[in-house]
Structures are given as structure tokens and as C-alpha cells.
Copies of this chain bind each other. A is one copy, B any other.
Amino acid sequence: MSPYYKDKDQFLVALDCVIFGFYEGELHLLLLQRNFEPDRGKWSVMGGFLQKGESADDAAKRVLYELTGLQDVYMEQVGLFGAVDRDPGERVLSVAYYALIKIEDYDRDLVKKHNAFWINIHQLPPLIFDHEEMVRKAREKMRIKAACEPIGFNLLPELFTLGQLQRLYEVLFDGPLDKRNFRKKVAEMDFIEKTGEIDKSCSKRGAALYRFNDKAYLKDPRFKL
């Protein structure tokens, strides 16, 4: 180490990943029931340690991959959690991220192996350390982003109905939306494309399936629900 830095303290740095999924009209988090110490049996978000030679963003992707087998996932940093006693065992800094995943895609075996479960966001158990604050901040940050950028589509399948889309935004913004007003706005966004296909699973009548066209969005990025 260069002399300039050599008398400075060094720290363990963890990555913690708040993983959002959407199914059955509800927002869920992928949480681990720890089968290892410390705090065996308690609930936490998925974490791991930063390693020499990897960036924080890469480490967060690795941690997500280890649990879900997914790559190229929408992730954002929530921030650094740096309270001295946040981990009672040892001084550990943690960088929290959130991820939005399509819930049909993840690797069931990996998740089972980690003893992880999808928990409805309205029925969260107590979490270890400062993980509840991480979840709160992740949700808030995601909500703000979702209000002005079309990130919600990362939580939906490739093809989705307007009913699903509306329900997603009702859950994200935590309040009912008017169906006609909602559809009026969607119709104005050219990057939300009707595919011609019909979904028969959600309703008896069947509903038109739509797709988010990210190239069209980049050409004309006007999003506001």
C-alpha cells in the first residue's frame, strides 16, 4: 500500500440486495431465513461481502445472481449504511441495492438452497440489523423512480394486460387508480404497444396483451402515470 494511505483504517463492506417481485397483484420481497450464524432463524435480505477486485455494482450483481440465477436485472443503489453498531457482531459497512425482477424467471433451486421466500410487502417479518430501514429506503427510492421513469415493466412479464399494469402501479403508489384515466394515459404512450395477442388467464372475456418497447421509449421518453 502506498505510504499516503497506510495509516488509514480499513473496513468490511457488505452488499445487501432488496429484491422486488410482483405476482397475484401484490408486491413481494425475496427474503432469507438465515440458516447460519449470526442470527440463525431470523429474516434478512440477501447479502454478501465485497471482494477485492470487484466494483460495488458488480458485487451487488453477483449477490443477486447467487440467489436468483438472474443476470441483466434492473438494479439501483440505495446507499451506504454506515452506523457503527449496525451489525452487532463486527463493524461492517453495507451498500444496499434494490432489484426489480420478473418473478417467473428466477431459479427455484437456488432460492430453495438459500432458504429464501417471497414475502408480501404488507406482511414482512421483523428483519435483522438495519434491513428494515434498507427496505423502507429501497421502496421509497423505487417509488420515486417509478413515478417518472418506466421501470415498473421490469416487474412484469414480457407481455402483460392493462389490468396487470394498472394493478402494479396501484401497488407501487399505494392507492387506487381510475381505470379510464389510466388507460387514457397509457394510450398516449406510444412505447406501450398492443401486441394483438390475447390473455385468457386473467379474465373470462380475455384481455389484450401489451408490451413495453424500450427502443420506442428512448426515442420519445415521456412517461408520467
Interface of A toward B, CB cutoff 8 Å: 1-2, 4-5, 8-13, 37-38, 49-57, 59, 77, 79-84, 89-93, 95, 144
Contact = CB atoms under 8 A, between A and B. Distances in A.
B8 A89 contact: no
Nearest to A8: B49
Contacts of A144: 144
Contacts of A92: 5
Nearest to A36: B4
A12 B10 contact: yes
Nearest to A86: B55
A93 to B, nearest CB: 7
A147 to B, nearest CB: 11
A89 B11 contact: no
Given A1-B90, A89-B2, A9 B49 contact: yes
A38 B54 CA distance: 23
A84 B91 CA distance: 22
Contact of A77 (B54, B56, B80): B80
